């Protein structure tokens, strides 16, 4: 009888790392482990939560990993390359013919290492497309479209997509840029959106919320999470400056990344009275923090459609809050906002439009929009996503390996 292959999850981010990607990958790995043998190759050393250990859970192997900060680009690139090399050799040791390996797009060298190892070992491979490189770097202005590095990365992508058995997109807008690569075909693309990690239910605005107590303004605009190269911190700060005379509107900001460092620099120079920062909010406080604001902003730079999807979006809907999304109208989150009446979509770079949307939101009846947000969050549920991942893995396990196809 032929041995059924196992599933190997290759991810830099995994518990005890608290990031959204770590939570998502742990959910996927644990759910697949209910039906298959699962091994996780993790770049997040440390003690696993009790919920991630025991019978029926994945076997987790932590790889040595030390990633420099995003502002130290050269050192960060070197450390990510080293981690990808460690992952490649770990996969060579772990994979057998007929296995399936599942990975993500960060760090950007990781998918190449995973696909190369899978091909050498006769395994199948699947990639969860959170960010599309080098497209996201071009969009952020870090690479020019015609640069040698850009062309080399696109050539490498074409080879990678030709070898991959499946590419999971979390946004409908990702299909068009993916199909611009010669190695990609429509039958490899599977749309499985992310989900809210908080239970969808309206959270009322209360004066005793610990994050609202120190703010006297009636209407609070929130910004939360990682602000990376794809985000635009300046548009948020400029909107706050345009609204500085509106005493009933206040900006509450909490997060990390290069964008937040820029926001802090801008505030240090301008010292706007309508802007407050709080430290990075831990998981135990996330629900209270998201419930503290009346409106949430997700500020993207231009040309984000198809290359990045905001995972935080679903939790904002889950607590029943409208959103102002700065992005092109064809982006996945923008489509969801417009289709379901969940807030406003603002043109990238237009701080005046963002300020106007906030003014409108502050005088609107948010009750109906909150109910629609919760209903929408319920549609992006964990159970549906997990069933889709299990079905895909089952399909890949039954496919002939690459070496058998030749």
Set out the domains of the chain in order of their start, with CATH numbers.
7-195+381-405 (3.40.50.2000), 219-379 (3.40.50.2000)
pLDDT at 207: 86
- pLDDT above 90 for 68: no
**Mean pLDDT value of segment 204-221:** 92
**Mean pLDDT value of segment 96-113:** 94
Question: Could you say which DSSP state residue 181 is in?
Answer: S
Please tell me the distance from the alpha carbon of residue 179 to that of residue 160, in angstroms, as a whole number: 13
H/E stretch holding 198 reads none
pTM: 0.83
Q: For residue 301, give the nearest of 244, 351, 239 by alpha carbon.
A: 351
pLDDT at 167: 96
**Mean pLDDT value of segment 308-315:** 80
Please tell me the distance from the alpha carbon of residue 358 to that of residue 324, in angstroms, as a whole number: 8
Query: Cβ of 275: how many Cβ atoms within 10 Å?
Result: 22
**Mean pLDDT value of segment 205-212:** 92
Phi first, then psi: give them for residue 344, nearest 5 degrees: -135, 145
Please tell me the distance from the alpha carbon of residue 9 to that of residue 32, in angstroms, as a whole number: 10
Q: Which residue has the tokens 């770049």?
A: 43
- Helices 382-398 and 20-32: crossing angle in degrees, nearest 10, is 60
**Mean pLDDT value of segment 325-347:** 93
Query: Cβ of 161: how many Cβ atoms within 10 Å?
Result: 21
Q: Find the distance separating the first CA and the last CA of the chain, reported in whole Å.
A: 22
Mean pLDDT of the chain: 90
In tens, the pLDDT along 313-335 reads: 999 999 999 999 999 999 988 99
**Mean pLDDT value of segment 161-171:** 94
Q: Give the 3-state secondary structure of residue 175.
A: helix
**Mean pLDDT value of segment 39-53:** 90
pLDDT at 70: 53
**Mean pLDDT value of segment 105-130:** 94
- pLDDT above 80 for 193: yes
Task: Lay out the sheet containing 249-256: strands in order across.
Answer: 275-277, 249-256, 219-226, 295-299, 323-326, 343-346
Q: Are 26 and 32 in contact (CB under 8 A)?
A: no
State the pairing for strand pair 189-191/343-346.
unpaired
Residue 72: which pLDDT band, with cuts at 50, 70 and 90?
low
In tens, the pLDDT along 255-277 reads: 888 899 999 999 999 999 999 99
Q: Which residues on adjacent β-strands are paired with residue 128?
A: 104, 168
- Helices 110-121 and 73-94: crossing angle in degrees, nearest 10, is 20
Q: Are 9 and 28 in contact (CB under 8 A)?
A: yes
Please tell me the distance from the alpha carbon of residue 385 to that of residue 137, in angstroms, as a whole number: 28
In Å, how far are 208, 220, 322 from 214, measured between CA atoms? 10, 12, 23
pLDDT at 405: 43
Structure tokens of 66?
A: 């030390």
Contacts of 75-84 with CB under 8 Å at 24 or more apart are 80/107, 80/108, 80/109, 80/110, 81/109, 83/12, 83/43, 83/107, 83/109, 83/110, 84/109, 84/110, 84/112, 84/113
């Amino acid at each position: 009888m032929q041995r059924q292959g196992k599933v190997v999850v290759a991810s830099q981010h995994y518990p005890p790392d608290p990031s959204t990607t770590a939570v998502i990958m742990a959910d996927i790995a644990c759910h697949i482990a209910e039906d298959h043998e699962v091994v996780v190759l993790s770049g997040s050393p440390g003690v696993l939560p009790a919920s991630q250990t025991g019978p029926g859970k994945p076997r987790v192997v932590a790889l040595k990993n030390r990633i420099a900060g995003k502002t130290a680009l050269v050192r960060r690139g070197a450390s990510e390359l080293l981690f990808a090399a460690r992952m490649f050799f770990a996969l060579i040791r772990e994979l057998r013919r007929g296995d399936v390996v599942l990975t993500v797009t960060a760090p950007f060298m990781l998918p190449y290492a995973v696909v190369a190892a899978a091909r050498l070992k006769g395994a199948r491979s699947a990639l969860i497309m959170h960010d599309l490189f080098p497209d996201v770097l071009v969009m952020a202005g870090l690479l020019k479209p015609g640069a040698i590095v850009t062309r080399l990365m696109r050539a490498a992508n074409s080879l990678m997509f030709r070898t991959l058995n499946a590419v999971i997109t979390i946004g409908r807008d990702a299909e068009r840029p993916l199909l611009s690569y010669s190695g990609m075909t429509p039958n490899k693309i599977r749309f499985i959106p992310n989900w809210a990690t908080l239970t969808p239910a309206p959270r009322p605005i209360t004066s005793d919320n610990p994050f609202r107590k120190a703010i006297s303004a009636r209407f609070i605009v929130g910004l939360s999470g990682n602000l990376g190269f794809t985000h635009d911190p300046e548009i948020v700060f400029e909107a706050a400056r345009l609204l500085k005379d509106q005493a009933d509107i206040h900006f509450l900001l909490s997060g990390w990344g290069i964008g937040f460092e820029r926001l802090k620099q801008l505030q240090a120079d301008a010292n706007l009275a309508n802007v407050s920062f709080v430290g990075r909010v831990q998981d135990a406080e996330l629900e209270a923090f998201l419930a503290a604001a009346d409106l949430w902003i997700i500020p993207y730079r231009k040309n984000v459609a198809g290359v990045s999807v905001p995972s935080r979006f679903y939790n904002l809907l889950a607590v029943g809050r409208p959103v102002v999304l700065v992005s092109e109208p064809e982006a996945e989150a923008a489509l969801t906002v417009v289709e379901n009446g969940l807030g406003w979509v603002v043109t990238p770079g237009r701080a005046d439009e963002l300020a106007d949307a906030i003014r409108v939101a502050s005088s609107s009846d948010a009750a109906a929009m909150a109910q629609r947000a919760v209903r929408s969050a319920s549609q992006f549920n964990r159970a549906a996503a997990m069933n889709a991942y299990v079905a895909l893995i089952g399909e890949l396990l039954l496919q002939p390996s690459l070496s058998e196809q030749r």
